[in-house]
Chains A and B, each alone.
Chain A
Amino acid sequence: MNPNQPQPASMPELLTVSPSPHARRGVTTSRLMIDVLIALAPAAVWGVAAFGPRAALVLLLSVASALLAEFLAEKLLRRPVTLRDGSAAVTGLLLGMNLSADVPLYIPVVGAVFAIAVVKQLFGGIGRNVMNPALAARVFLMLAWTGGMTRFSAPFAYLSSGVDAVASATPLASLKGGMLPDASLADLFLGRCAGCIGEVSVLLLLAGGVYLLVRRVISWQIPVSFLGTVALLTFVFPQGGADRLSFMAASLCSGGLVLGAVFMATDYVTSPVTGAGRLIYGCGCGLLVVFIRYFGGYPEGVSFAILIMNALVWYLDMLTRPRVYGKTRGRRGDRKGGGQA
């Protein structure tokens, strides 16, 4: 608005004209984001417990840089500052949880700035980003500093003094070699294995997911179809002569799969809005994860899979558009109905 322009002579504001919906639940962005933060907290706390103070530092740097980047980017672009909605904090925390505790400390900072400034703000800010900012930043970091991003130390290694940062193979690296990981299934499920800070504890991530489901922050379609597809494919096509069931279980419990399926793929902005669309989207993610894990160059494919499916969200929404009341489905109906855009 231009303050120099004379306002039209005081018009009485009697009616508020707005498009539907008129009845709203009291759901705000900040409430949703706080719920996501609550759901992420147990897994993050476990990550800090398992990988030591260094993990806490990585998480802290990531969140702080995300908030700072959001503030600066919005100031520079002359947009209203939206720090209070918590979305930048969620992005920062998700990014931090997707990093190993042993990354050089510039990695969370650069990643958070890339996520917020480039992937989110340059595309128009909250609600307008095409890809999940935290994941896009993770992939950017992965391509930029592959060496720094793929150093993992064993859990609780920081407790045994004297030895610093015992490098440890992640369960995924073993799976990539066609072997079952050294860690037992219980270790994988509870999070006693090497990996990124927030991805190791499947139990706590699932608990967070159940919380989000109960609070109706996320719907079941994406996590279920995502994990289901991976489960099905790894059960039908186990690798390296392993026992089907244990291979499937190990595949489901290792890497960032659960974190991705519950917290990343379900991001509102970058996932389809229709139920059927969400099912297809989840299946696509699962399919791509298995393909990348089996045939790709990287041991983990969750980030790439979700980003690729993010790019298809618009198409999935178009494909699964529900029938407009009073019209027949399909092209002809649309034309009759006066060209639905």
Chain B
Amino acid sequence: MNRYLRQLKEGILDQNPTLVQLLGMCPTLATTTSLENAFGMGMAATAVLICSNVFISLLRKFIPRQVRIAAYIVIVSGFVTAVELLMRAYLYPLYQALGLFIPLIVVNCIILARAEAFASKNKVLPSAMDGLSMGLGFTFALCILGTVRELLGSGSLLGYRVLPESYPDMVVFLLPPGAFLTLGFVIAAVQKLRGMSEERRRRRSAAPADTAAGATAPVAADGAHSAGEADGAGRKED
């Protein structure tokens, strides 16, 4: 059980497919104009990810290595078609809002990456869990972006006006430049947080060490920390 929880944490935080691995940038930038769209996109991808991971894991012994990518694509596109039809039947407005980006889940690199890196090497249950955690990580990242962009770009959340009427909507956040700006800032913030938690962990593990080393350890950590910060800042709006 513990192992699955760790997987979940990895997917959502430490190995977040969008904010840390920087995979699947196209839907991330394109579908996060509102929180609703972002959540819908994240959920659709999560559903596909779980199903495809389970199937690929089941079939991992039968798929010949040479044609594995093609086989993955076939499996993924089968599930994407199912999800697309379901959304068309039950969530038509969302289906219309996301448009082309639903079929494009087929070539979402998060899904192919998890198939290649995880599901093709692991048993069914861990693969399902991997799909769930990575999918939730993707959804989480999309929701952050969607929240910021909808709030700044149209002053509302989930379609309800949140900010006062006098707030002048910054339309730029609904446009592609705003997507890049927001993504840059969110990634920078995540890098900063990761650097801080890394440092805390290192300090904790360094604390029981002999006191002579203790005098220099915080200094070294500080140096590494500011380097990480500079790196994070440099990556902004790349």
Contact = CB atoms under 8 A, between A and B. Distances in A.
B207 to A, nearest CB: 18
Nearest to B236: A122
Interface stretch (B15-23, B31-39, B165-173): B165-173
B237 A143 contact: no
A275 to B, nearest CB: 30
Nearest to A128: B234
Contacts of A124: 233-234
Interface string B188-226: 000000000000000000000000000100010011000
B222 to A, nearest CB: 8
Contacts of B172: 140, 143-144
Contacts of B223: 2
A146 interface: yes
B158 interface: no
Interface residues of A, number: 16
Nearest to A121: B233
B234 A145 contact: no
A2 B219 contact: yes
Contacts of B236: 122-123
B177 interface: yes
A104 interface: yes
Contact of B233 (A106, A122, A144, A148): A122
Given A143-B175, A143-B177, A148 B237 contact: no
Contact of A104 (B168, B177, B219, B222): B168
B168 A122 contact: no
A106 B168 contact: yes
Nearest to B167: A106
Given A4-B219, A5-B219, A145 B171 contact: yes
B219 A145 contact: no
Contacts of B215: 4
A122 B237 contact: yes
A146 B219 CA distance: 49
Contacts of B233: 77, 122-124
A179 interface: no
Nearest to B153: A144
A118 interface: yes
Interface string A142-160: 0111101000000000000
Interface string A1-12: 010110000000
B168 A148 contact: yes
A341 B236 CA distance: 26
A144 B237 contact: no
Interface in B136-180: 168, 170-173, 175, 177-178
Nearest to A146: B171
A140 B176 CA distance: 12
Contacts of A145: 168, 170-171
A300 B4 CA distance: 56
Contacts of B171: 143-146
A118 B178 CA distance: 13
A236 B215 CA distance: 73
Interface string B225-238: 00000000110110
Contacts of B178: 143
A148 B170 CA distance: 11
Interface string A117-145: 01000111000000000000000100111
Nearest to A114: B181
Interface string A163-174: 000000000000
A118 B234 contact: no
Greatest chain B CB density within 10 A among A4, A122, A123, A124 is at A122
B172 to A, nearest CB: 4
A140 B152 CA distance: 13
A118 B168 contact: no
A2 B222 CA distance: 10
B237 A118 contact: yes
A143 B178 CA distance: 9
Contacts of A77: 233
A146 B171 CA distance: 8
Nearest to B235: A122
Contacts of B168: 104, 106, 145, 148
Interface of A: 2, 4-5, 77, 104, 106, 118, 122-124, 140, 143-146, 148
- 10 nearest A-B pairs in the assembled complex, by CB-CB distance: A143-B172, A144-B172, A144-B170, A122-B236, A122-B233, A2-B219, A143-B175, A144-B171, A145-B168, A4-B219
19 contacts: A2-B219, A2-B222, A2-B223, A77-B233, A122-B237, A123-B233, A123-B234, A140-B177, A143-B171, A143-B172, A143-B175, A143-B177, A143-B178, A144-B171, A144-B172, A144-B173, A145-B168, A146-B171, A148-B168
Given A106-B168, A123-B236, A146-B171, 11 more contacts: A2-B222, A104-B168, A118-B237, A122-B236, A124-B234, A143-B171, A143-B172, A143-B177, A143-B178, A145-B170, A145-B171
